[in-house]
Amino acid sequence: MIGVMNSMQILRGWAARHAHWLAVAGLLGAPQAMAAGEYANSPDVGEFITEMTRDYGFASEQLTALFADVERKQPIIDAISRPAERVKPWSEYRPIFITDARINKGVAFWNEHAEALARAEKEYGVPAQIIVAIIGVETSYGGNTGNYRVIDALSTLAFDYPPRAPFFRKELREYLMLTREEQVDPASLKGSYAGAMGLPQFMPSSFRAYAVDFDGDGHINIWSDPTDAIGSVASYFKRHNWQPGQPVATPAKVKGEHVDQGLSAGLDPDKTVGELRALGWSSQDALADDLPVTAFRLDGAEGPEYWIGQPNFFVITRYNRSVMYAMAVNQLSELLVQARGANQ
């Protein structure tokens, strides 16, 4: 796992690994793979290498040597092809992510990185508890960042999973570009079976768009540098229009025959508070009638729960397109505040 490396080791690994590619190419005119992998002679990979060479300035001999070492991972194909599990109700989903252990680890993470979290909150306007909750839900504060080489995961899905090949081919391109920009060995980094990376589980395109060098060392390392991970999550939320000082979701009371007409069709805020009021929705919070919101119902442990998701709720769903994910992040963040306050 990349967490056992420090940034300098990664950078040295890149330099050491790629220096010999150029030397071999200079001496022999073409790379000589010691043991060709599954993609060594793939026409699709050859086409991809041509594209990366022609359009993005990569050296074909380096990419040829890299892909000769790439391994096709059948478990990844099996996992992504598996029929979707039954969608868990909120009463089963919530206990997966909101546990005493995760709250305690979150408070410890917050205390350890309080300075970076406070700085991120000041610079980006994103509350520390939201940043900590995201990292907690995604990887349990770095405890589960994935064990697949990112190059293997993305290549497997780009070249051997036709239903989503265009998406993963784009992510593979983004990955190679980010490793070049960060001067990191593309064969060294690990992530999830879908290629999500580091403490916040950024896909390569998100890394290049939103990740930041928050500790100012000249490189972005979201694998083993919590400071960069914290700043990157905050950057992501700010770029997706997080509204500082505003709530995420409000519990609603409902009555009447038209309540369900207020439920949103998807994640987008497609109702206004005024429209919900006319359909029998109310809340204790003072919400402007013209505020666009997402209205939803969850199957809670004690029965149906009705909620009004405000603009910041929608921002969380940009990170993961799920109502229950956003609610888990929101409620974990609230419990982190309570637990940390009780311990101080």
User: What tens digit of pLDDT does each residue of 295-330 get?
Assistant: 999 999 999 999 999 999 999 999 999 999 999 999
How far is 134 from 202, CA to CA, in rounded Å? 11
Q: Burial letters for 246-268: b for 16+ Cβ neighbours within 10 Å, e otherwise? A: eebbbebebeeeebeebbbeebe
Task: Locate 186 and state its tokens.
Answer: 């593309």
Q: What is the pLDDT of residue 336?
A: 98
Are 308 and 276 in contact by the 8 Å Cβ rule? The answer is yes
Q: What is the pLDDT of residue 31?
A: 35
Q: Which parts of the chain have pLDDT scores under 50?
A: 1-36
Burial category of 313 from C-beta neighbours within 10 Å (exposed 0-12, middle 13-18, buried 19 and up): buried
Task: Locate 193 and state its tokens.
Answer: 């079976």
How far is 184 from 192, CA to CA, in rounded Å? 18
Q: What is the pLDDT of residue 83?
A: 82
Angle between helices 226-239 and 114-124 (to 10 degrees): 20
From 38, 121, 138, 171, active-site residue: 138
Tell me if residue 115 is catalytic: no
CA atoms 291, 292, 297, 302: torsion sign: negative
How far is 216 from 172, CA to CA, in rounded Å? 27
Amino acid at 101: A
The per-residue pLDDT for range 22-71, each reduced to its tens digit, is 333 332 233 333 334 789 889 999 999 999 999 999 999 999 999 999 99
Q: What is the pLDDT of residue 69?
A: 95
Q: How far is CA 62 from the centre of its chain?
A: 29
* Helix/strand/coil for 279: coil
- List strand residue ranges (DSSP E) for 34-178, in order: 148-149
Prediction pTM value: 0.88
Q: What is the pLDDT of residue 118?
A: 98
Q: How far is CA 154 from the centre of its chain?
A: 15
The rounded radius of gyration (Å) of the Cα atoms in the chain is 23
Residues pairing with 299 in the sheet: 304
Max Cα separation, the chain?
Answer: 80
Cβ neighbours of residue 341 closer than 8 Å, sequence gap 6 or more: none
Cβ neighbours of residue 338 closer than 8 Å, sequence gap 6 or more: none
Q: Residue 298 is inside which H or E element, if any? A: strand 292-300
How far is 142 from 161, CA to CA, in rounded Å? 28
Closest residue by Cα to residue 154 from 187, 199, 200, 198:
187
Closest residue by Cα to residue 129 from 285, 294, 248:
248
Are 93 and 176 in contact by the 8 Å Cβ rule? The answer is no
Q: What is the pLDDT of residue 12?
A: 35
How far is 197 from 224, CA to CA, in rounded Å? 11
How far is 56 from 337, CA to CA, in rounded Å? 46
How far is 175 from 195, CA to CA, in rounded Å? 9
Query: Residue 84: phi, psi to the nearest 5?
Result: -60, 140
Q: Enumerate domains of the chain plus CATH numbers.
A: 43-81+147-222 (1.10.8.350)
